[in-house]
Amino acid sequence: MKNLFKGKMFTGAILTVLTSAMIMTGCGGNNNGGNNGAATNSPSNTPTESASPSPETTVSGTVTIAGSTSVQPLAEELGTAFMGTNGDARIEVAGGGSGAGVKAAQAGTADIGMASRALKDEETGIEPIVIAIDGIAVVVNPGNSVEDLTVDQVKGIFSGAIKNWSEVGGQAGDIVVINREEGSGTRDAFGELVLGEEPFVAEAIIQNSTGAVREAVGQDVNAIGYVSTGGLNDSVKALKVDGHEPTEENIKSAVYPIQRPFNFLVGEGKENSAVAQAFIDYVLSEEGQRIVVENGYVTATK
């Protein structure tokens, strides 16, 4: 009797483990599928939702957004805030990259495409709406005498070609490069904007947050790193690049070079669905732009 009891329990235990494992892996699969599917499913959603009755008060319906993974977190934040005031609206944000965002907007498979760069000449039929600007500051220790670097010097330092501060007009000392971890949006943007095809220097110290980069640079007179302009504070000194400080005005007027626009892309001359238009208006509104600043970006509106 006792043995039987034990045996049953054990079988039960194994079953539980197996089913839980299946559920967990199943969930993983579904999540991915859901994200990828969002872009392709959208056409069936949009036409029916576009005729929502009262756009003045609250809107309802689904907006599908796809594209740049750099813009994605900000779009999700904005979407969450928007859904908070418009209970019946759903904002679905998927990744895929800027290229996918352009294609999705062109083909209309998403209501709004996202791109973390300016449009290329051959990318026609869509209209960019700048929702935010991502500016990246190059930071050094406040005790470092260097004030100004050219983009090429910054590139040289982060690709490992320039190894000593004396090569860029500072006091002799080996440059300690502080880099972000693989997958970081700031790292991707910095690499794209400054290094181009060149890889990052492999010997760099890796820190995995803006705060940790600031700490590391603030601790070491020979260190150099980069942070989003929203993450600057007194513990580090932001360098001028090509003679321009990374201030809000300089970023807006585009004289500060290490920056990129965050674009929403919509079909050229195409009527947006009421809910999509309401979301775009919300993003460009004072409240939407406040969220942009809270996330460390520069506002797009003048």
Partner 1 sequence: MNRLLEEKIVKTLLFITAFTAVFSVLLIGVFVFIEGLPIFFKYGITDVLFGNVWNPTNQVYGIWPMIVGTIYVTFVAILIGAPMGLGVAVYLVEIANQRISRIIIPAVELLAGIPSVVYGLFGMFAVRGVISSLERGPLAEYLPSNYQTGYSILTAAIILAIMILPTIINISLDALRAVPKEYKEGSLALGVSHWQTIYKVLVPAAKSGIITAIILGVGRALGETMAVIMVIGNTPLVPALDWTGLFAPARSMTANIALEMGYAGPEHQQALFATGIVLFVFIIILNSITTLLVRRKGRK
61/170 with CB nearer partner 1: 170
Residue 205 within binding range of partner 1, rule CB under 8 A = yes
**Residue 199: CB minimum distance to partner 1, A:** 8
Task: Give the separation between CA 102 and CA 182, rounded to whole angstroms.
Answer: 24
Among 15, 21, 118, 161, binds partner 1 (CB under 8 A): 21
Among 11, 16, 30, 145, binds partner 1 (CB under 8 A): 16
Binding mask 206-235 for partner 1 (x = CB under 8 A): xxx---x--xx--xx--x------------
Task: Give the separation between CA 127 and CA 134, rounded to whole angstroms.
Answer: 19
Helices (H) and strands (E) in the chain, counts: 9, 12
145 close to 222: Cβ distance less than 8 angstroms: no
The C-alpha angle 187, 183, 267, rounded to 5 degrees, equals 85
107/212 with CB nearer partner 1: 212
**Residue 287: CB minimum distance to partner 1, A:** 27
By C-alpha distance, which of 241, 222, 231, 244 is closest to 154?
Answer: 241
Residue 32 within binding range of partner 1, rule CB under 8 A = yes
216/278 with CB nearer partner 1: 216
List binders of partner 1 among 236-275 (CB under 8 A). Answer: none
163/244 with CB nearer partner 1: 163
146/266 with CB nearer partner 1: 146
Among 185, 225, 261, 296, binds partner 1 (CB under 8 A): 185
**Residue 109: CB minimum distance to partner 1, A:** 21
Q: Where are the alpha helices (DSSP H) in the chain?
A: 2-49, 72-85, 98-107, 151-159, 185-190, 210-219, 248-252, 274-284, 286-294
73/169 with CB nearer partner 1: 73
CA dist 141 → 132, 234, 238, 242 (Å): 28, 10, 9, 19
- Under DSSP, is residue 180 helix (H, G, I), strand (E, B) or coil? strand
Among 184, 263, 272, 273, binds partner 1 (CB under 8 A): 184
Number of neighbours of residue 72 by Cβ within 10 angstroms: 22
**Residue 28: CB minimum distance to partner 1, A:** 7
For residue 151, what are its two tokens? 């983009």
Most distant CA pair in the chain: distance in Å?
A: 86
Residue 141 within binding range of partner 1, rule CB under 8 A = no
Number of neighbours of residue 201 by Cβ within 10 angstroms: 18
Q: In this chain, which stretch among 20-28, 59-67, 129-137, 151-159 interacts with partner 1, using CB under 8 A?
A: 20-28
Which stretches of the chain bind partner 1, using CB under 8 A?
Answer: 9, 13, 16-17, 20-21, 24-25, 28, 32, 163, 174, 176, 181-185, 202-208, 212, 215-216, 219-220, 223
